[in-house]
């Protein structure tokens, strides 16, 4: 799948913004809607071009981590680029800031445009295998839903475009709830068209389980707990149960040697096949996960991804049933006092550099990395390649696990708790905890089972311990009402100084401002409230 996606680039030139009425001469060798969209191969190339948008800076490969992780209370941004820092700390002075605002918006709508082309033109193509045709259309629906979901989380009120767009289009933006309703329709249709499992080169394409899990995320944002539970039931207890489980070794979720495993529901396929390759719509483009370079420590990377100390402290509050500390912390973060808590581990910081057990030995100075208070440095380690190489680059081949089964179990527990309470929900949290050799909630936190409210508080912590740095926290905080309550906002401000800049009167920072360039280009587009 990683290499097949590159083939989708062949159709991009001429399809993105072509209007043949503006041309006096037409190159017969140029791909356009008149000579493309004719064969099954064209259809597959078309949907591959939608997947290819994952590898753009405004897609999953770079800036979304800043918007979903570094902007949340779990992490912060230590970039020397002050405007980039400001954007993750609610200082929105330049609405046209490309890396924080415009690039994500334009990349997502470009991906939606490509998905809309598939949905518009593929139905007319004759297929020898109707199942394959339906699969391609289902993939386009799923991918379009992924991008609309991100747009709804970041901007809230965005335009819904359902057909290949033209330069003269002036779509209105609609409410976040309307976007979620639209996504739900797409995903209900997609799960009837997608396959349950893929093999060979098609591994990595959207599946029924991926569609159901994303739909559950959407329903949960709307607090439609019954509907979300119904979708997740298929993966946890229903017909899809055999496809998914927790891997034995938690770290296998963050290595390129153990990708597409049984815990993966959907993951972005990254590769180092084109080291140093160009970016953009060109053959041979880079397909690596660029987050690794940005979050790796100084000397290896840019040191921009910092975990808040409260997250590390939360890990250290509880020991495993064997008396050791939770080893998820070792792959989640680097922190200065690791030898105190993990004295026998070979991949630890001792003083200023790593021991010989790490392939980054002596490559970076822990104290030179811009991490805040001395002695409280906490760097993001997830999706770093220190386990197999001595350097980091923009071509990290570690797949991003967009949806993991552990997340599915925790979402399922949240739905059940909101429907029938903690007694029925606890066992699904326990499955996640037990994998890390932690005791059942009834043993360690019995008070969490005394009420839905107290279970919810514990569940919020469990999601941090399992999923920190995996692009889910911003949606979690939004779903739990932290951006709509002065009291809950006070909790965020107490553990993350960046939230002191969050407007807790109008709560306008719940969403990004819409770029003034977009507003100028579309007279029907309205700015988000209070900007």
Give the percent of the chain with pLDDT over 90. Answer: 78
Q: Is residue 5 very low, low, confident or very high in pLDDT (cuts 50, 70, 90)? A: low
pTM of the predicted protein model: 0.92
CA distances from 524 to 278, 362, 521, 527 (A): 36, 56, 9, 10
Task: Output the pLDDT for position 64.
Answer: 97
Q: Is 282's pLDDT higher than 50?
A: yes
Calculate ∠ Cα 268-361-342, nearest 5°: 80
Residue 359 or 528, more confident = 528
Task: Output the pLDDT for position 15.
Answer: 47
Task: Output the pLDDT for position 4.
Answer: 55
Give the separation between CA 194 and CA 204, rounded to whole angstroms: 12
Q: Is residue 37 very low, low, confident or very high in pLDDT (cuts 50, 70, 90)? A: very high
CB burial of 324-346 (b: ≥16 within 10 Å; e: otherwise) equals: ebbbbbbbbbbbbebeebbeeee
Find the range with the poorest average confidence among 241-245, 336-340, 424-428.
336-340
Give the separation between CA 198 and CA 203, rounded to whole angstroms: 5
Are residues 211 and 240 in contact, defined by beta-carbon separation less than 8 angstroms? no
Give the separation between CA 25 and CA 36, rounded to whole angstroms: 18
Give the separation between CA 381 and CA 516, rounded to whole angstroms: 36
Which of 16, 183, 190 is CA-nearest to residue 110? 16
Which of 193, 218, 188 is CA-nearest to residue 206? 193
Q: Is 19's pLDDT higher than 50?
A: no
Q: Is 348's pLDDT higher than 50?
A: no
Average of per-residue pLDDT across 70-81 = 95
CATH code for the structural domain at 4-194+513-521: 1.25.40.390
Task: Output the pLDDT for position 23.
Answer: 45
Q: Left if phi > 0, otherwise alpha if psi is -120 to 50, otherwise beta: which for 310?
A: alpha
3-state secondary structure of 229: helix
- DSSP letter at 298 equals B
Q: Is 101's pLDDT higher than 70?
A: yes
Find the range with the poorest average confidence among 189-198, 329-338, 340-349, 457-466.
340-349
Q: Is 424's pLDDT higher than 70?
A: yes
- Give the model confidence (pLDDT) of 123-154 as tens digits: 999 999 999 999 999 999 999 999 999 999 99
Q: Is 165's pLDDT higher than 70?
A: yes
Residue 19 or 413, more confident = 413
Residue 404 or 330, more confident = 404
What are the φ and ψ backbone dihedral angles of 306, each rounded to 5 degrees?
-115, 135
Burial degree of 300 (CB within 10 A; 0-12, 13-18, 19+): buried
Residue 103 or 30, more confident = 103
- DSSP letter at 192 equals T
- Give the model confidence (pLDDT) of 362-394 as tens digits: 455 555 554 444 445 688 999 999 888 888 889
Give the separation between CA 226 and CA 419, rounded to whole angstroms: 7
Burial degree of 376 (CB within 10 A; 0-12, 13-18, 19+): middle
Give the separation between CA 270 and CA 259, rounded to whole angstroms: 10
CB atoms within 10 A of CB 237: 10
Task: Output the pLDDT for position 139.
Answer: 98
Q: Is 351's pLDDT higher than 80?
A: no
Average of per-residue pLDDT across 301-328 = 95
Q: Where are the domains of the chain?
A: 4-194+513-521, 293-384
Task: Output the pLDDT for position 89.
Answer: 95
Average of per-residue pLDDT across 449-472 = 98
Are residues 116 and 165 in contact, defined by beta-carbon separation less than 8 angstroms? yes
Give the percent of the chain with pLDDT over 70. Answer: 88
Task: Output the pLDDT for position 299.
Answer: 79
Mean pLDDT (the chain, rounded): 90
167-175 contacts at long range (C-beta below 8 A, 24 or more positions apart): 167/17, 167/19, 170/522, 170/523, 170/524, 170/525, 171/522, 171/524, 171/525, 172/524, 172/525, 172/526, 173/514, 173/524, 173/525, 173/526
3-state secondary structure of 174: strand
Burial degree of 18 (CB within 10 A; 0-12, 13-18, 19+): middle
Tokens of 152: 């709804």
Task: Output the pLDDT for position 455.
Answer: 98
Give the separation between CA 67 and CA 100, rounded to whole angstroms: 7
Task: Output the pLDDT for position 390.
Answer: 81
CB atoms within 10 A of CB 374: 8
């Amino acid at each position: 799948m990683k290499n097949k996606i590159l083939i989708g680039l062949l159709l991009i030139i001429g399809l993105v913004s072509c209007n043949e009425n503006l041309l006096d001469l037409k190159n017969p060798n140029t791909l356009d809607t008149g000579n493309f969209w004719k064969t099954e191969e064209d259809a597959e190339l078309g949907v591959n071009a939608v997947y290819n948008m994952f590898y753009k800076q405004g897609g999953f490969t770079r800036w979304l981590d800043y918007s979903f992780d570094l902007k949340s209370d779990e992490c912060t941004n230590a970039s020397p680029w002050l405007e980039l820092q400001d954007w993750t700390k609610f200082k929105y002075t330049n609405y046209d800031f490309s890396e924080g605002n415009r690039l994500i918006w334009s990349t997502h709508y470009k991906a939606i445009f490509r998905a809309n082309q598939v949905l518009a033109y593929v139905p007319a193509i004759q297929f020898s295998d109707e199942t394959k045709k339906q699969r391609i259309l289902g993939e386009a629906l799923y991918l379009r839903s992924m991008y609309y979901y991100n747009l709804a989380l970041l901007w809230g009120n965005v335009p819904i475009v359902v057909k290949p767009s033209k330069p003269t289009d002036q779509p209105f933006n609609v409410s976040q709830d309307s976007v979620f309703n639209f996504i739900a329709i797409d995903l209900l249709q997609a799960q009837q068209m997608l396959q349950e499992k893929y093999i060979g080169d098609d591994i990595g394409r959207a599946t029924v389980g991926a569609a159901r899990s994303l739909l559950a995320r959407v329903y949960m944002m709307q607090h439609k707990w019954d509907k979300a539970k119904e979708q997740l039931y298929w993966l946890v207890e229903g017909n899809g149960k055999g496809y998914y489980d927790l891997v034995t070794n938690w770290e296998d979720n963050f290595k390129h040697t153990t990708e597409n495993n049984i815990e993966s529901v959907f993951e972005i396929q990254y590769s180092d096949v084109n080291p140093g390759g160009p970016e953009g719509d060109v053959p041979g483009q880079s397909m690596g996960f660029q987050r690794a370079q940005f979050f790796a420590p100084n000397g290896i990377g840019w040191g921009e991804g910092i975990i808040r100390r409260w997250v590390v402290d939360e890990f250290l509050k509880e020991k495993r049933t064997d008396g050791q500390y939770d080893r998820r912390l070792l792959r989640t973060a680097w922190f200065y006092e690791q030898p105190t808590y993990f004295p026998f581990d070979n991949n630890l910081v001792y003083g200023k550099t790593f021991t010989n057990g790490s392939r980054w030995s002596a490559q970076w100075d822990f104290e030179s990395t811009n991490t805040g208070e001395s002695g409280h440095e906490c760097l993001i380690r997830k999706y770093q390649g220190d386990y197999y190489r001595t350097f980091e680059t923009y071509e990290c081949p570690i797949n991003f696990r967009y949806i993991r089964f552990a997340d599915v179990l925790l979402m399922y527990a949240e739905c059940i708790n909101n429907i029938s309470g903690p007694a029925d929900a606890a066992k699904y949290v326990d499955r996640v905890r037990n994998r890390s050799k932690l005791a059942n909630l009834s043993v360690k936190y019995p008070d969490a089972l005394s009420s839905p409210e107290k279970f919810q508080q514990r569940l919020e912590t469990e999601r941090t311990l399992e999923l920190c740095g995996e692009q889910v926290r911003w949606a979690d905080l939004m779903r739990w009402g932290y951006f709509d309550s002065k009291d809950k906002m006070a909790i965020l401000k107490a553990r993350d100084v960046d939230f002191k800049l969050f407007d807790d009167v109008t709560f306008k920072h719940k969403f990004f401002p819409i770029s003034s360039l977009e507003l100028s280009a579309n007279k029907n587009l309205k700015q988000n409230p209070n900007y």
